Chain A
Amino acid sequence: MASGKGSIITVYEPDHVRKAGLGIWAEMFREIWMARGLVWRLMVRDIVSRYRQSLLGITWAFLSPLPVLLAFVWMKERTVLAIGETGMPYPVFIFLGQMVWLLFSHGVTVSTGSLVSAGTLLTKINFPRETLVLASLGQAVFEFAIRLPLLLAVFIWSGFLPKASILLLPVALFPLLFLITGVGLILALFNALVRDVGSIVGMAMTIGMFATPVVYPPPTGWPVSFWVNHVNPVSAFVTATRDLAVSGRISDPSGYAVSVLISVIIFLTGWRMFHLAESKIAEKV
């Protein structure tokens, strides 16, 4: 990125990014830090422009989890579906699951499309491309926050009193943002090259919701339990969220810790991959 005053020399040549070696992490971090104002601006831009020309505006953030919530509550009441013991009123159970899942799926979906939808911004202006992906997290987090009052309403409606530890929710979910960003960075990159990725992500997110204990409790039977509870890194965050509401104690600390670790590793990998390929994005998008 060419910025800074006076005698700063920027060099553009083939494979420049690779030549910098290990110091590249410091450079990557500095680049993001310098662009933090831009990330914020882009976040605000995306959120404001999304709701400006819409009748219901922010209400959509409320409405989007409701169809799944109502459908599954109804199916369970009518015993169309046999869903095991949830340890809390089912609407609360499913809504807590959805809060986490929507944060993840919305975040990943928006960031996957972030490069492609940037259009001429990407092909005609030089700025750190990571900011586009980071900014798309903003939308997901914003809608997550908007749904918190709705969560409260669900608590009241179900007559459920959560433990005070539910207030730790933002802390428990913070590592999930690393996972979203890491996955988002990688998918955004490949979507810029091959548009099929965007369509695949849309489909994968629908399947993913059912591969995550969102509407049902974590399975116990092998091998489903292994795949859903341990391989799927989102599951630990869903379970931890419910633990905070019910008992205030994370029921599977090591599982949670592993998921956090995986999230950070995916984030670092994604970031590095993105940075390596960054210079080729503009000509390939």
Chain B
Amino acid sequence: MSEVLINVSGVSKKFCRDSKYSMFYGLKDIAGSFLGVPSDPGDLRNGEFWSVDDVSFELRRGDCLGLIGPNGAGKSTLLKMLNGIIMPDKGRIEIRGRVGAMIEVGAGFHPMLSGRENIYINGAILGFSKMEIDAGFDEIVEFAELRDFIDSPVKHYSSGMYVRLGFAIAAQMKPDILLIDEVLAVGDVGFRAKCYNHLAGMLKDTAVVIVSHSIPHIDRYCNKVFLLAGGRLETNDDTAVTIERYYSLFDQESSSVIAGNEGNSLRHLKLEGGSNDADGTVRHGGMLRVQGEVFVERAVKNPNVLIAFLNRELQVIAVCRTSPGILFNTDGLVKFSVDISPFLLNVGDYKVSLIVYDEKYQRHLLWHNASWSIRVIGDSINYGGAAVYFDGKWESHGA
């Protein structure tokens, strides 16, 4: 096993909700440290809460840890503690080796100065000597793809260009530990891919911690995934379990009725898989039957129905819809059913949306978004988070 680079044991950090209290506590704490009065961090004072609560883990060279969780769960706070920007109130963090961090890209860029000048300043802030920066300068500019703009003031840069320059500088550090906080999202697709590939390349010498809401990226690049919710860390050796836990935090919020009124409403909808499986469960390659009854305004004689399947990122990945004229409106009630077979969705959890349109697919009469769940089961494993699994016929054509 490779060496442990990060060892976090029992780390907690508290913050104060109220800025006046916070100012007062700050003065008190700092006065305490001047006088040598040991602080008593164990208790919460008025208005304080644990932003990070008793977190422990260790990370080895070669590990890539994805830190996920809802907003305000303490992810960035934990990252800042790993970087030594803020100190834990309880517990201990041991860091072995040189740390590179991108908590915020463009932090420390001076808007009036050129990209070139900022490379040198930012490099110095990150702990490089002038010689090291000289040596890496061309590579940085190359990686950032900013050759034509390197002598313009960075205030004229776009936010994507900021990210490019910031990541390029940090990428040249060759640190033992790299901390990244949701910064790559701003770059365009090409640059993002370049960054993640670069990260993958660094992994053999580096331990990486990424905070991100981009779960597909986390899923693909991280060998460990921890969920931080309400300051507490949830870990599981199986990253898929942690990711599923993360998504389940948002089940309530993701479901919504986007369109609908008194004349257009849902009576009921049923999703059935094979006869032996539990409700809402369907076998990969088998059949899914959707049965529904909706109330539709009488003026729409032949409404249309669309069933959409969403992945856990709530992106539509598959649809099935009626051809115009198939469904009839009987005194305001429309009954329908559809068999989808073979059901090609990969093993995993999905959300289902129902949309009812007018005759020409022009107007939404009713739209229940991500309101049902189905689970696809089967023998294949869900590889790489792909939505569809083709049961291809493989043959060997050896010599």
Contacts and interface: CB of A to CB of B under 8 A. Distances in A.
Interface string B105-126: 0111010110001001100111
Nearest to B30: A277
A125 B34 contact: no
Contacts of B108: 120-121, 124-125
Q: Select the residue from A4, A13, A119 with max chain B CB neighbours within 10 A.
A: A13
Contact of B33 (A5, A17, A37, A45): A17
B96 interface: yes
Given A17-B33, A194-B23, A277-B34, A41 B121 contact: yes
Given A11-B92, A53-B112, A124 B33 contact: no
A113 to B, nearest CB: 15
Contacts of A7: 96-97
A11 B33 CA distance: 18
A2 B100 CA distance: 9
Nearest to B76: A124
A213 B29 CA distance: 39
B107 A120 contact: yes
Contact of B88 (A4, A5, A13): A13
Contact of B121 (A2, A16, A42, A53): A42
Interface string B26-68: 1101100110101101000000000000000000000000000
A124 B107 contact: yes
B107 A193 contact: no
A16 B86 CA distance: 12
B337 interface: no
B34 A282 contact: no
Interface string A237-265: 00000000000000000000000000000
A18 B33 contact: yes
Size bracket of the B interface: 35 or more
Interface stretch (B77-85, B235-243, B282-290): B77-85
B94 A15 contact: no
B134 interface: no
Interface in B370-385: none
Chain A interface mostly: helix
Contacts of B38: 15, 18
A41 B121 CA distance: 6
A12 B87 CA distance: 6
B224 to A, nearest CB: 21
B86 A283 contact: yes
Contacts of B138: none
A189 interface: yes
A153 interface: no
B247 interface: no
Contacts of B121: 41-42, 45
A48 B125 contact: no
Contact of A38 (B41, B83, B124): B124
Contacts of A17: 33
A179 to B, nearest CB: 20
A9 B127 CA distance: 16
Contacts of B176: 6
A126 interface: yes
Contacts, number: 143
Contacts of A123: 85, 107
Size bracket of the A interface: 35 or more
A250 B130 CA distance: 42
Contact of A193 (B26, B85, B93, B124): B26
Interface in A54-70: none
Given A38-B125, A49-B113, A280-B26, A12 B81 contact: yes
B114 to A, nearest CB: 10
Contacts of B88: 12-14
A11 B94 contact: yes
B104 interface: yes
A79 interface: no
A220 interface: no
Given A14-B39, A37-B130, A49-B113, A125 B87 contact: no
A14 B112 contact: no
A284 interface: yes
Contacts of A38: 124-125
B98 A2 contact: yes
A279 B85 CA distance: 7
A4 B98 contact: yes
B103 interface: yes
A273 B30 CA distance: 9
Contacts of B96: 7-10
Contacts of B23: 193-194, 284
A9 B84 CA distance: 12
B258 to A, nearest CB: 38
Nearest to A192: B26
20 contacts: A1-B84, A1-B127, A5-B97, A8-B97, A10-B96, A11-B94, A12-B88, A12-B95, A14-B39, A41-B124, A41-B125, A49-B113, A120-B104, A125-B108, A189-B30, A193-B23, A193-B27, A280-B30, A280-B87, A283-B86
Q: Top 9 A-B pairs ranked by shortest CB distance?
A: A124-B107, A120-B107, A284-B26, A49-B112, A124-B104, A124-B103, A12-B93, A41-B124, A121-B108
Given A10-B96, A42-B124, A194-B23, 15 more contacts: A2-B99, A3-B98, A5-B98, A6-B176, A12-B95, A13-B88, A13-B92, A14-B88, A48-B113, A125-B101, A193-B30, A276-B30, A282-B85, A283-B86, A284-B23
